[in-house]
Structure 1
Amino acid sequence: MSVELSVVVPMYDEAEVLPLLVERLRPALDGTGASYEVVAVDDGSKDATPVLLQRYRKEWPQLRVLRLRANAGHQAAISAGLAYAVGDYVATLDADLQDPPEVLAQMLEVARRDGVDVVYGVRSDRSSDSAFKRGSARAFYRLLRSLGQTSAQVDAGDYRLMSRATVQAVNALPEHHRVLRFVVPALGFPSASVGYRREVRAAGRSKYPLARMVKLSVDSITGFSTAPLRLATWCGIGGGIAAILLLVYALVAQLRNQTVAGWTSTVVAVASVGAIQLLCVGILGEYVGRMYTMMQGRPSYFVAYDSAAEDKDTDTTVKRVATAAEQSRAS
């Protein structure tokens, strides 16, 4: 039977929130009236998440478990789910319940009614987030939009619904460190949005501390915009002009027999030029590092287990045994 809706849920050490997720997600999907599957991507969890997933899979036939061999990161886990999902529509949802699963029915209805390829979940109410997180998120989105001319909405994260054509386009992209919240809008497919209130994390702890947020920001900028390279170029030009002006000043002062400032001016000049050079080298290094990773061609994730394959093998075994039993009775 064909699957109309696949829901990809990346998970990493989500044993505390998993029962609450199942309690809300299953009735929300059953209420859509669509045939569906839930692709739970276990991103190398070290707690009881794998055990709980297997337990729920026995009670919930639509639950599919995809386990990665090692922790690959949030975006890589979503990419793995997109590669294995089979639905006509594919939604991505975090396990922490900050994005309410009940909105999925509305997203699917909008996609069916308007015939759009992407339906974004937009956080119309972010009062549950801290003022720092709200402010930094808005500033970063605006910065990236000005740098890369992206059409990504300010308060849209990784909660979205995509058509099969959109998923195939994303899966065909060659880049490894892609940030899907900016890649999907860049495709330019017809889209719509659904607003919702962002809730507090239901249980457990956040998997996105400040260090990971900074890494995500760097991947977003270097993977989506060449503006930093242009910034390095302008810094180099500015440093060169400053050096020429300093040389002219030194020559004029020498011709007039004026005393030139000693070590202070020298240290300031050397430090300024050195800072500009280090900045340019660092920016170039980010892009060279990305090209190096692409040339290596290493996958972003490795799948260790897929419950759908196990179910398929079980069905084949049952049919084989039944056939053998019928032949035995006939003889």
Structure 2
Amino acid sequence: MNDTLYLVIPCYNEEAVLHETAKRLTKKITTMMENEIISTDSKILFVNDGSKDKTWNIIEELHNQNNIFSGINLSRNRGHQNALLAGLMTAKDLADVVISLDADLQDDVDVIDKFVEKYYEGSDIVYGVRSSRQTDTFFKRTTALAFYKLMNTLGVDMVYNHADYRLMSKQALESLSQFKEVNLFLRGMVPLIGYKHSIVEYERHERFAGESKYPLKKMLAFALDGITSLSIKPIRIITGLGFFIFVFSLIALLYSIIVKLFGETVTGWTSLTLSIWMIGGIQLLSLGVIGEYIGKMYNETKRRPRFIISEKLIDVMHLQNNRI
């Protein structure tokens, strides 16, 4: 079997690493073609997510030098998840199977063969899972573990230690295209598709060059998006907390009546102040969580496009052959 494979790589300001990424991926995909593991129509598809550096110029240069490279240029920066989806939906019409990975060479390209092997064994989705987190700082390792446990507690089905290094068959991509939400969290959406899946473990490397595109602020925003896009448990927690405070207030009311009847007087300044601050804080927090959901509903109802492709560098003949 030698199905057509597309490698989809979202890029944002990756000029420092892109030539090396192209070199390593070309070597890997060419070897797989020579060994007749994949079709000679297989490609490497770069997605430029509105980069401010020379990333798109490099993609154009690579495409002109070797037609194994394809590229799409988004009209503006739309974020990693939207850029990734743009690449997946473009590759869906061209390939039999697609593997998504980051441009920074942290994902081990040497295990791509194992992904394809699992696909030929019948898996429609193959998740790349980190074998360890020894290269991470203590803070990042601890917060990552807390994030996965929190998502699991809130009922979000996620693969532990999996980012966006995964293989998806055409069938799985067709199913993913039916998900129309604007607020994307692909790590939680892909498991909802179902189908047979498997796991390939790999060792995640340090960035070859450049800076991380996910500082702490973005990581926290990403986690919040994941929680509110895939779980309504925070709303239920607020409901439960509200019920608990209501019951507690009834008990406090009963206690006050009893104290009053027996003629005892208590100043209660400290308890009153603490109660006001506590309840006020809970109310503001509750409004914030509810507002987050309402905001997402607002974005969904507008049905704005998740991405706009301004330019494509794709082998036209190959595209025509796939449509016949």
Residue of structure 2 aligned with 1:312, choices 284, 308, 316: 316
2:226 corresponding residue in structure 1: 220
1:70 corresponding residue in structure 2: 76
Q: 1:225 to 1:29 in 2, by over 3 A?
A: same
Q: Look up the equivalent residue of 1:100 and give its one-letter code.
A: D
Between the aligned partners of 1:101 and 1:45, the Cα distance in structure 2 is 23
CA contact 2:156–2:188 (8 Å) conserved in 1: no
1:137 corresponding residue in structure 2: 144
Between the aligned partners of 1:297 and 1:255, the Cα distance in structure 2 is 61
CA contact 2:60–2:313 (8 Å) conserved in 1: no
In the TM superposition, residue 153 of structure 1 has moved relative to its aligned partner by 2.0
Q: Look up the equivalent residue of 2:117 and give its one-letter code.
A: E
Q: Look up the equivalent residue of 2:184 and give its one-letter code.
A: R
Q: 1:149 to 1:65 in 2, by over 3 A?
A: closer
Cα deviation code 1:49-103 (max 9, x no counterpart): 1111111111120211110111100001001111111211011110010001221
Between the aligned partners of 1:226 and 1:153, the Cα distance in structure 2 is 19
Between the aligned partners of 1:173 and 1:44, the Cα distance in structure 2 is 24
Between the aligned partners of 2:54 and 2:148, the Cα distance in structure 1 is 35
TM alignment of 1:169-248, pairs within 5 A: 169-248=175-254
Sequence identity, in percent?
37
CA contact 2:181–2:300 (8 Å) conserved in 1: yes
Between the aligned partners of 1:144 and 1:192, the Cα distance in structure 2 is 21
Structure ID, larger Rg? 1
CA contact 1:250–1:260 (8 Å) conserved in 2: no
Between the aligned partners of 1:125 and 1:243, the Cα distance in structure 2 is 48
2:265 corresponding residue in structure 1: 259
TM-score w.r.t. length of structure 2? 0.92
CA contact 1:10–1:77 (8 Å) conserved in 2: yes
Q: Look up the equivalent residue of 1:8 and give its one-letter code.
A: V
Cα deviation code 1:222-241 (max 9, x no counterpart): 11111111101011111111
CA contact 1:5–1:37 (8 Å) conserved in 2: yes
Q: Which runs of 5+ in 2 are unaligned?
A: none
1:146 corresponding residue in structure 2: 153
SS at match of 1:238: helix
CA contact 1:82–1:171 (8 Å) conserved in 2: no
Q: Look up the equivalent residue of 1:146 and give its one-letter code.
A: T
1:127 corresponding residue in structure 2: 134
2:307 corresponding residue in structure 1: 301
Residue of structure 2 aligned with 1:87, choices 89, 95, 112: 95
1:29 corresponding residue in structure 2: 29
Cα RMSD after superposing both structures: 1.7
2:114 corresponding residue in structure 1: 106
Q: Look up the equivalent residue of 1:6 and give its one-letter code.
A: Y
Residue of structure 2 aligned with 1:278, choices 273, 281, 284: 284
CA contact 1:39–1:81 (8 Å) conserved in 2: yes
CA contact 2:182–2:300 (8 Å) conserved in 1: yes
CA contact 1:79–1:171 (8 Å) conserved in 2: no
Q: Which runs of 5+ in 1 are unaligned?
A: 317-331
